Amino acid sequence: MTDAFVLDAWALLAFLQGEEPAASRVKSLLQEARNEKVILYVSILNLGEVYYRIGKTRGQSEADALVEELQLLPLTILPASNEAVMSAAQLKIKYPISYADAFAASATLQHSATLLTGDPELLELAGQLRIEKLERKTGS
């Protein structure tokens, strides 16, 4: 069975912004996905989160370009199906996480995957789902 990973917005932003060591880990997994050794998933809601965060800081045209680039990567983009929406809503009821984070957590459970994140809210769910903690160096 092929290992599966879910990337949340935190992981994708760290990759896009070159924040190490998280960016290198994501890059390594992307290479493994190209070689069909792993499967990588991202929820459309988390992709939307990346889009709006980049759009707010760098402008909409750069956000458009980055999302186009992400869509060329070996990522399976998961739609916001009725099942996904209800599953995420149930997680949001139980845990103090953002709605977008609930989609990443839901996808992780649905695909028996490991969630790649450095988001403190999601790291709190380590007892509920498989999580690989990503880190980025701070400027201190």
The pLDDT tens digits for 64-92 are 999 999 999 999 999 999 999 999 999 99
Q: Is 71 within the bounds of a domain?
A: yes
Number of folded domains that form the chain = 1
Q: Tell me the residue range of the domain where 89 lies.
A: 3-131
Give the span between the Cα atoms of 136 and 103, in whole angstroms.
23
pLDDT band at 1 (very low <50, low <70, confident <90, very high): low
CATH number, position 73: 3.40.50.1010
The answer as to whether 87 is a domain residue is: yes
Confidence at 9, pLDDT banded by 50, 70, 90: very high
- Is residue 18 in some structural domain? yes
Cα gap 19→91, rounded to integer Å: 29
Is residue 136 included in any domain, yes or no? no
**Percent above pLDDT 70 for the chain:** 97
pLDDT at 140: 42
Q: Specify the higher pLDDT residue, 137 or 53.
A: 53
Asked if the peptide bond before residue 120 counts as cis, ω within 30 degrees of 0, the response is no
Residue 136 is predicted with a pLDDT of 86
